[in-house]
Chains A and B, each alone.
Chain A
Amino acid sequence: MNVRPVAERRQVLFTFKILYMKNISSNLLSIVYFLCGIGVLLLFWEVSSRLSDGELPGPIPTWEVFYELLKDPFYDFGPNDKGIGLLLWGSIVRVAYGFLLGTLVAVPLGILLGASKIAMNILNPVVQILKPVSPLAWFPIGLAVFQSAPSATVFIIFITSLWPTLINTAFGVSTVPQDHKNVAKAFGFSKFKYVVKILFPYSLPHIFTGLRLSIGVAWLVIVAGEMLSGGMGIGFFIWDSWNAGSMEKIIGGILIIGIIGLLLDKGFSLLQKSFSYEK
């Protein structure tokens, strides 16, 4: 492992400097592997398309239809006719709102659960019951409360983002090693110093693990949520394309969803790395 000084580690966080530049040859190799994987996918896709007698469009016709969409992604011809870029942006904004709200609730609550046995005993059963529920089941409640489909969609993303963050934060906070606690005790750290110099630095990698999981699930759920709410976002795009009978658009949409998901995950993985430390 290459180790970076603290000042630089902070910088990485803000500039998102790509860390992999150092080893160019292994970088090159991973690009080659990536292209191979894409090649296999395209081949499989083309073969399936031929086997299905054109029911499933192949890569080339899909690209042709999709290219048209990408040429003008931000047009706006009223509520049910928007460019794919606008739809996608809408989804990203809703995920961002729901995720941020979820984080604002889950992190403090997680710290409370991790720090206090009593809070854990009281809230853990509640969390255990609510966690396995599909966030989509909350949609009607969101609708009833907010009387608005976009808000209800943000609400289900909020619920989605709660659990992984909450659980990982609580885990981080409750597993501060005895060694670190001993340092605090031996040198008489104040509560404040303990929180800032030991509890937080130790828990942050766990919190970011939770955030990374949360954003992943949130991005999964937004598509389904928007199919349910209709009229907005990339989920609606997929559903609308199905109604319009365009398999090409659906496949194109799937690829875009996948790529955004990948970028979100990579971004959070960089964040996570910049907050982790060498043992």
Chain B
Amino acid sequence: MKNNIEAPTLEMYIKQDLGLTQNSIEINNVTVSFKTPKGKFDAVKDISLTIRKGEIVSIIGHSGCGKSTLMNTISGMVKPSQGEVLANGKRVTGPGPDRGLVFQNYSLLPWLTVYQNIYEAVDSVLKYFNKSEKKTLVKDTLKMVNLYEHKDKLPGQLSGGMKQRVAIARAFAINPSILLLDEPFGALDALTKSSMHIELLKLWNLDNRNKTIVMVTHDIEEAIFLSDRIVVMNNGPAATIKAIVDVPLLRPRHKKEIVHDPEYMKIHDQLLGMLMDKLSIADIKSSI
């Protein structure tokens, strides 16, 4: 766990100076077990992780290692069997308006238009807004993600990138302080993915980088480009955190230039090594 020691970044210093450093998410000794026909199955075991306010953190690991499960303990969709999760200092017992969720497969309701999909979420979460306030909010959010012209379309009429923007807009509309994204760009082509990265960072900047973003991904480049820190998970069952890698690259980051940055390349190699390492061991085992 020696990688766990965090090298302070420039931003951290700035935020510390302004007294802005607060813990947004605290995961304390969380274990999640599922009941299966074959008995108890530990998906993740004894995980602890602290994420500061305004930080972008990626969770990376092999398919099925427990990334979504860990993420869902923060969102409140999954209850930890042991340990606890604090969001903004409060113990997580279920989903809440302080956390916006973008699901692995968009999860838009196919019979509702783009507008209605966002409106229903807003209507449900922001109970104290009146109707016209909610309408204005939905319209503004749609304009922010450039979907206003498409507001009356059904999800089935949208491209993958547009659907994902709707899902992000839905999570953003309720103005959560924590944004949780589960492989949000996994199904998109490389070009769309890149422009979505920029859009996500724009949204984050618009809010003065105050929103905490936790994102699950299996794309190393994506993780480095977006994140302040990258959490690498071991393979399950009973997955733990293998390492936490800092990404001290200055923002704003530029897609084209960043890949030539020696620091970027170093982190890239480091991550690749950690993820491939597991593969090669498995290969050796199976070939014996």
Binding site for B on A (CB under 8 A): 3, 5-6, 179-180, 182-183, 185-190, 193, 197-198, 201-202, 277-279
Contact B124 A198 (CB under 8 A): no
What is the bound-complex CA distance between A3 and B157, given in angstroms? 7
Would you call A179 and B105 a contact (CB within 8 A)?
A: yes
Complex interface: chain A residues within 8 A of B101 (CB): 186-187
CB B29 to nearest CB in A, in angstroms, measures: 25
List the 4 closest A-B pairs by CB distance, nearest first: A278-B156, A201-B111, A187-B121, A277-B111
- Of A189, A197, A279, which is in contact with the most chain B CB atoms at under 10 Å from its CB? A197
Which of B108, B109, B174 is A197 in contact with, Cβ under 8 Å?
A: B109
Whether a CB of chain A sits under 8 angstroms from the CB of B75 is yes
A201 CA to B121 CA in the complex, in Å? 16
Q: Quick one: closest B residue to A196, CB to CB?
A: B120
Interface of A is mostly: helix
Residues on the A chain within 8 Å of B97, using CB: 188
B residues in contact with A6, CB < 8 Å: 113, 152, 154
Interface centre among B110, B111, B113, B123 (most CB of A within 10 A): B111
Q: CB within 8 A of A185: which of B77, B113, B152, B155?
A: B77
**B125 lies within 8 A of chain A by Cβ:** yes
Distance of A35 Cα from B124 Cα, bound (Å):
55
B103 contacts A by Cβ under 8 Å = yes
User: Whole-angstrom distance between the alpha carbons of A190 and B75 in the complex?
Assistant: 18
Residues of chain A lying within 8 A (CB to CB) of residue B109: 180, 183, 197-198, 201
Question: What are 28 residue pairs bridging A and B, where the CB atoms are less than 8 Å apart in the complex?
Answer: A3-B157, A5-B152, A5-B153, A180-B109, A182-B107, A183-B109, A183-B121, A185-B94, A186-B95, A186-B101, A187-B95, A187-B120, A187-B124, A188-B97, A188-B125, A189-B120, A189-B124, A190-B124, A193-B123, A193-B124, A197-B109, A197-B120, A198-B109, A201-B111, A201-B112, A277-B154, A279-B110, A279-B156
Q: Of all chain A residues, which has the CB nearest B100? A: A186
Cross-chain contact A3 with B156 (CB below 8 angstroms): yes
Most B CB contacts (10 A, CB to CB) among A185, A186, A197, A279 go to A186
Residues of B within 8 A of A (CB): 75, 77, 94-97, 101, 103, 105, 107-113, 120-121, 123-125, 152-157, 170, 174
With A and B bound together, what is the CA distance between A156 and B108 in angstroms?
A: 43
| B99, chain A: closest CB distance, angstroms | 9
Q: Measured between alpha carbons, how far is A223 from B61 in the docked complex, in Å?
A: 65
Provide the residues of chain B in CB contact with A185, threshold 8 Å. Answer: 77, 94-95
Q: Smallest distance from the beta carbon of A203 to chain B beta carbons, Å?
A: 11
Inter-chain contacts of B77 with A (CB < 8 A): 182, 185-186
Q: Which residues of A contact B170 (CB under 8 A)?
A: 187
Within the complex, which residue of B123, B125, B154 is in contact with A3, where a contact is CB–CB below 8 Å?
B154
Known contacts A182-B103, A197-B120; is-contact A187 B125 (Cβ 8 Å): yes
Minimum distance in angstroms from A179 CB to a CB of chain B: 5
Q: Are A179 and B107 in contact (CB under 8 A)?
A: yes
Minimum CB–CB distance from B105 to chain A (whole Å) comes to 6
B31 CB → nearest A CB, Å: 22
